[in-house]
Structure 1
Amino acid sequence: MENAEIEKTQEDEKFTKIKALAKEAYRFLDQGRFKEAKERLDILLDEDPSNTYGLVGLGDYYAKTKQPEQAIQYYRKCLSGDTTNKFSLMGLMNAYRDLNSLKRIIEVAEEFHHITITDASILSRVADAHRKLKNFKESEVYYMEALQINPNDQYVIVGLGHLYFACQRYADAILWWEKLLSSQPNNIKILTEIGNSYRKIKDFDKAILYYERAKNLDPKNFFALYGLAESYRGKKDFKTAITHWEKILESDPENKLIINRYADSLRGLGNYDKALECFNKILASGDDYFALLGKAAALRLIGDLEKAEEIYLGLLTKSPNDPRPALELSDLWDIMGKKTQAIKLLEDLAKKNPSNEAIRERIEYLKD
C-alpha cells in the first residue's frame, strides 16, 4: 500500500512538471521566444515521449519557424497515438497549406474524417483547398457543412464570398460579404470585396459607394483607389479615374499596371500625347504586352497608322490566339482601305475562336 502511494505521488509530481513545462512552452511560442519554447518541449518529451501537448507543441514550433516538413512529422506522430486530436489535424493541414500541397489537405481530411466532420475550422480548411483547386462544388459542400456547425464562423463566410466570386456568382458573393460587414462595418477588405463584386456586374455606382467607404477609412488604400479608378473608367468618366490613378502613382510611381491603366484613361480623355509618354515609359524597361496594345491604339487615334500596324502585327506573332490585337488591327485596316485583309484575318481567327461573338459581329460589319 505504501509503495502504491509513493508511485502515485511520483506520477502526480511528473504530471505537474509536464503540465508546467507545456504551459510555459506555449506561452513562449505565443511570444515568439522560440528557443526557450523548444527547450521546454524537448524536456517535456524526454519525460513523456508520447505526450500530445509536447508533440503538438513541437509541431507548432516547427510551423512557426517556417519548417513545415518537420512540423508534419510531429503532428503525424501525435495523431498516430491520439486519433481524435483536432489540434494536430489543423496543424497538419496548415503545414501542407504552407507547402502549397492542397491535395494533401484534402487527403488528410478524408483520412481523419471522424475529426473533420466535427470542426467548422477544419471543414473550412478543406473547403479552401477545394476552392483553390477550382473544385467549386466540393468547396461549397464543405463550407455549408461548416456553417451547420457554426453559422457565424467568419472564416467560412469569407471563404463563401471568395468561392462565389471565383464562380462569377457575384450576387451570392455580395450576400455573404454583406453578412460579415453587418458585424464589421469598418472592415476595409470586405468593403473592397463588395465593391469588386458590384464592379464585375458593371454596377459601377454601387461599387463606388463601397470603395469610397474604404477610402474614407484609409485614404491611401491601394484596392480602394484602384476600384474607384476602374469604376469611373467603366463609367467613361476618365477625368475622375485619372485623379485616382494619380493618387496611387504618388506612392508607387513605377507600377506598370497602374501606369498602363492611367495611360488608357488619358487616351479615353483624348490626351494621346501624354498617354504615349506613359506607354513609352513602360516599354523603356522592356517589352510589355498591354503597353504595346495601348500604344498601338493611341498611335491609331493620332493618325500614325503605319506604326500602329507594325505593333499590331508584332503582337499577332507573339499571341496569335488573342483576339484583341486582331480585332483592333481589323479596325485599323478598315480605316486604311484594307477591308479584304481585315475580313480574312478575322475569319482565320474565328476558326480558332468559334464562340467569340465579337469576332463574328465584326466580320458581319465589315461585310455589310
Structure 2
Amino acid sequence: MFDRDFDGFMSDLGRIIQKYETAKAMGDFIYLEVSEYEELFDHYFSTGDFEQAISLIQSGCKAHPYAGSLSLKHAEVLLELGQLEQAEEWLDVAESLQPNDLQIVLNRADLLAMRDKHQQAIDLVNDRLRIASKEEAIELYIELADIYEDVEHYVEVIEALEALLKFHPKHVDALNRLWFAVELTGMYAKSIEIHQGLLDKDPYHEAAWFNIAQAHIGMENLKEAISALEFVLAINEGHDAASILCADLYVELQDYEKALALYHSVLELNLPNRDVFLRLANCYTMVNDVDEAKVYYRRCISLDPRNDEAFYGLGCCLLAEEKHEDCLSPLEKAVRLNRSNLDYSITLMEAYKELSDWELAISLLKDIVKDNSDNQRLMMELAMLYVEAGEVQDAIDWLEDCIELFPHEADFHFAHAVYCYTLGRRNQAIVSAEQGMLCDEQRASHWILSEPHMADDPLFANLLRT
C-alpha cells in the first residue's frame, strides 16, 4: 500500500514538473496551486537546483501573495544562497502572514548565526522554547545544537541534545551528534550518565548501549565496552557496527577466536563486505593462519581492487611463506596505491633483498629517503644497504653527504669510520671515529665492535676503553 502511494506521489510530482518546465520553456503562463508550488520548490531545493527554485518561488509569490508558506520558502532559498538582507525581508513577509510559525523562528535563528550574532540566535530559540510544544521543542533543541556547534561550544551542544532526548529518547540524529560532541570534549562520564538515564526508562535502548560502549572505549575500559556491546547484540543481533566494534575490541585484547567468530557472524547476516574481509584477514595473520588470511585478503581485493592494505597484507603473507617472487606483485601494488606508507616500501625493499635484487632495493630506498629527507634512521639504512650489496664506496660517499646535513650525528661518523677501515683507509677511519667521539662517545662500542678487525686494532680498542 505504501509503495503504491509513494509511486503515485512520484508520478504526480513528475506530472507537475513536466507541466511547469514545458510551459516555462515555451514562455507560456501556467497556473499552479500553492501545494503544487510547494512540491516543486521542495524538489528543486532538495536536488540543489537553486536557480530553478528561485525562479519558481518568485512566480509562486506573485501568483499567491498571501500564501505565507511560499514567502517562507522564498526566504529559505535566499538563506541557502547567503542573500541575507533579502532573506530577512521575506521572513518579515512570511511572519506577517502566519505569525508564530516555528519555521520562521528557526530561519531567523539561522540568519542571526550567519551574521555571527550567535547569542541573539540562542536567545531567540530559548524564548520560543518557553512556550513550545513537545514537537516544537525537539526542533528547537536541534537548532540550539546547530548554533552551539557553529561556535564550537560542544559542552552546550551536549546539554541541548540531552534536553532533546528527554522529549524523544530515540532521536537518531541527536544520539549520533551527542556522541560526536562527547568525542570532542572527552566527556565520557557525562555520556554514560545521560545514556544510563535513557536505559533506566528503556533497558532495550540499543543506541544508548552502543554510545555507552563508545564512552567506555574513550575511557579505555575495554571489557566494560564489550559488555555494553553484548547488550546491543542481545537486543539486535544484526547490529553490524556493534559486532564489528566488539570484534575489534577482542582483537585489541588478543582474544582472536571471539573476534573471528563475530566477524564471521557479520558476513553470515549480510552481503560480502570488504572491511570485514580485511579485518578477518588481519585477524587470521595474528593467529598465524596464513592460508585463511590470504583467502580473505583476496576476497577484499576482489571487492575493492584499490585497497592498499589488502595488497600489503597479501604480500606480507607470501613473504612470510618465503614466496619471494610471488610477494612482489601485491607489495608493489600496495606501494603504488599508497606511496606515503613507509611500512609498505620498507617491506617491498626487504623482498627485493631476499631476491638479491640490490639495484631495485637501493633504488626504492633512495626514493624513500628522498621523500623523508629528515629521517636519519632511513639515511643510515641506505648506507647499510649499500654495504649489504657490496657497494662499500657508495656507502662512504652517501655517509659523507649525510654528515654535511647532520654534522653532529655520531652514528654517521662512526659508520663512516667502520666502512673506511673495511677498505683499508685506517687514517681516514681514525679521523671519523674521533669526530664521532666528540658527538657521542657512547655510540663508539656499537660501531667498532661490529667490525672485528677494527675492534682488535690497538688504537680503536683504546677508544673503547676511554
Report the counterpart of residue 41 of structure 1 in structure 2.
Answer: 106
**Residue identity in the other structure for 1:110:** E
Aligned residues: 300
Report the counterpart of residue 334 of structure 2 in structure 1.
Answer: 248
Give CA-to-partner distance per residue, 1:312-352, whole Å, 9 cap, x none.
9739x9xxxxxxxxxxx979956646799xxxxxxxxxxxx
**Residue identity in the other structure for 1:287:** D
Report the counterpart of residue 388 of structure 2 in structure 1.
Answer: 301
Give CA-to-partner distance per residue, 1:294-317, whole Å, 9 cap, x none.
435534532467959x899739x9
Residues 260 and 291, structure 1, Cα contact 8 Å, conserved in 2: no
Moved more, 274-283 or 174-183: 274-283
In the superposition, relative to structure 1, how do residues 195 and 114 fare at CA in structure 2: closer, same or farther (>3 Å)? Answer: same
SS in 2 for 1:265: helix
Give CA-to-partner distance per residue, 1:181-229, whole Å, 9 cap, x none.
1123420000000001011222211101001111112222222212212
Higher relative contact order (CA 8 A, sep 6+): 1
SS in 1 for 2:220: coil
Moved more, 87-96 or 44-53: 44-53
Residues 195 and 207, structure 1, Cα contact 8 Å, conserved in 2: yes
Report the counterpart of residue 198 of structure 2 in structure 1.
Answer: 115
Report the counterpart of residue 288 of structure 1 in structure 2.
Answer: 375
Is residue 2:304 matched to residue 1:221?
A: no
**C-alpha displacement of 1:115:** 0.8
In the superposition, relative to structure 1, how do residues 64 and 236 fare at CA in structure 2: closer, same or farther (>3 Å)? Answer: farther
Q: 1:197 aligns with which of 283, 298, 304?
A: 283
Moved more, 294-303 or 61-70: 61-70
In the superposition, relative to structure 1, how do residues 252 and 146 fare at CA in structure 2: closer, same or farther (>3 Å)? Answer: closer
Query: Rg: which structure is higher?
Result: 2
Report the counterpart of residue 420 of structure 2 in structure 1.
Answer: none
**C-alpha displacement of 1:157:** 0.5
Q: 2:232 aligns with which of 129, 146, 149?
A: 146
Note the 1:1-368 alignment, pairs <5 A: 41=106, 46=128, 48-49=131-132, 51-58=136-143, 61=146, 67=152, 69=154, 71-78=157-164, 82=166, 85-87=169-171, 88=174, 91-97=177-183, 99=184, 101-102=185-186, 104-116=187-199, 117-253=203-339, 255-285=341-371, 286-288=373-375, 291-292=378-379, 294-295=381-382, 298-303=385-390, 314=411, 333=449, 336=452
Report the counterpart of residue 17 of structure 1 in structure 2.
Answer: none
**C-alpha displacement of 1:93:** 2.5
Residues 38 and 58, structure 1, Cα contact 8 Å, conserved in 2: no
Report the counterpart of residue 24 of structure 1 in structure 2.
Answer: none
Which segments of 5 or more consecutive residues in structure 1 lack a partner in the other structure?
Answer: 1-26, 318-328, 341-368
SS in 2 for 1:240: helix
**C-alpha displacement of 1:52:** 3.2
Residues 58 and 74, structure 1, Cα contact 8 Å, conserved in 2: no
SS in 2 for 1:284: helix
RMSD: 4.3
Moved over 6 A (4+): 27-34, 63-66, 310-313, 329-332
Give CA-to-partner distance per residue, 1:47-99, whole Å, 9 cap, x none.
844643223432564599795625334214435xx3773434554233212x1
TM-score norm. by structure 1 comes to 0.66
**Residue identity in the other structure for 2:169:** N
Question: Counterparts of 1:126 and 1:28 in 2: how far apart (Å)?
Answer: 40
**Residue identity in the other structure for 2:143:** L
Residues 90 and 122, structure 1, Cα contact 8 Å, conserved in 2: no
**Residue identity in the other structure for 1:41:** L
Residues 29 and 61, structure 1, Cα contact 8 Å, conserved in 2: no
**Residue identity in the other structure for 2:411:** G
Which segments of 5 or more consecutive residues in structure 2 lack a partner in the other structure?
Answer: 1-42, 49-75, 81-101, 110-124, 403-408, 415-444, 457-466
Question: Counterparts of 2:267 and 2:222 in 1: how far apart (Å)?
Answer: 24
**Residue identity in the other structure for 1:108:** S
Moved more, 31-40 or 242-251: 31-40
Moved more, 68-77 or 199-208: 68-77
Give CA-to-partner distance per residue, 1:231-273, whole Å, 9 cap, x none.
2122222222221122233344454442222212211222123
Report the counterpart of residue 351 of structure 1 in structure 2.
Answer: none
